[in-house]
Amino acid sequence: MEQTTELTSEFADTALKAIEDVSDELYEISIKNPELAYEEKFAHKLLVDYLQEKRFKVTPSSFGLETAFVAEFQSKAGREIGHACGHNLIAISGVGAAIGLKAVLEKFNIEGTVKLFGTPAEAGTFLVRGKTMKDMEELQPRVQKCFEAAADATGAKAKITWKDAVYEDQNNIFSGSTDQGNVTYLVPGFHPVYDIRSPIPVINHQREFAPACKTKTAHQETIKATSGMTLVGLDFLIDAEFAKQVKESFAKSKL
């Protein structure tokens, strides 16, 4: 759509105010009841109810998973270990970004869809990864022997079920694994990282990270990250040239 600097600024102000208005509510959501993989029933109900209250069309228990959901807002123009990994903050950042974008689509009657996916069990399994398919296939039996040896050494029994979750090689920079990587085989995406400013030196997946994720400071830093994600999404919705560049870059990354 055609835009001016003044109009773009107004879009951004609208999105950021919408996030600020729900910041306290998101904080209360984020500190509730951590749960195990595929057992996130409390979080599922909490987020589904909250998003329905915010007038999103929500499909609970999506994709055959009891604790997954999809929340969608569509605008048709008249002219979509506890919290030791920080999953609580990840959840509210997505909710906040969806609310911010929805506010802009509603206020300015912009055509578009904002979709929020609730994805359970983000860290519920072990993965084997390699730079290439060949590397991964060679590594898999070695990993299996590690599990079997650990079971034998401790007098336990190992039941190992391998599931297909592989993707063809792509010409990308190789880095750490994340479920977001699976998404970006199909659509453009990004994986932001930010500092929660813990009062003690700590990193995610450490036990001490869980209480650090519940602080007001961590929440404030999450709201900043949420605002940044929202503005990127807003650019994609309203700036046709930016959207074109993103799509072209995505297509090249798959070559």
Q: What angle do CA 89, 225, 237 make, to 5 degrees?
A: 115
Q: What angle do CA 192, 195, 198 make, to 5 degrees?
A: 150
**Measured CA distances, 7 to 11, 98, 101, 202 (Å):** 6, 20, 15, 42
Q: What contacts 195, CB < 8 A, 6 or more positions away?
A: 221
| pLDDT recorded at residue 119 | 81
| pLDDT recorded at residue 12 | 92
Domain boundaries, the chain: 5-125+179-253
| pLDDT recorded at residue 37 | 80
> Residue 83: is its pLDDT beyond 90?
no
DSSP alpha helix (H) spans, the chain = 5-21, 23-30, 41-53, 87-108, 133-154, 179-183, 209-212, 216-238, 240-253
| pLDDT recorded at residue 58 | 94
Helix axes 5-21, 23-30, angle to 10 degrees: 50
Instruction: Name the residue among 203, 217, 213 with its Cα closest to residue 82.
Output: 213
- Reported as a pLDDT band with limits 50, 70 and 90, residue 79 is very low
**Rounded mean pLDDT, 79-93:** 66
Q: What is the spatial distance between Cα 88 and Cα 104, in angstroms, rounded to a whole number?
A: 25
Percentage of the chain beyond pLDDT 70 is 85
Q: What is the spatial distance between Cα 158 and Cα 137, in angstroms, rounded to a whole number?
A: 20
| pLDDT recorded at residue 4 | 45
- The residues facing 114 across adjacent strands are 73
**Rounded mean pLDDT, 44-54:** 94
The mean pLDDT of the chain is 84
- Reported as a pLDDT band with limits 50, 70 and 90, residue 98 is very high
Write out the two tokens for 102: 């929805």
Architecture of domain 5-125+179-253: 3-Layer(aba) Sandwich (3.40)
- Reported as a pLDDT band with limits 50, 70 and 90, residue 51 is very high
> Residue 192: is its pLDDT beyond 70?
yes
106 by DSSP, 3-state: which? helix
Among the residue ranges 90-104, 111-125, 241-255, the one predicted with the least confidence is 111-125
Could you read off the pLDDT of 128-187 as tens digits, one per residue?
877 777 888 899 999 999 999 999 999 999 888 887 766 665 555 555 667 777 788 888
| pLDDT recorded at residue 171 | 57
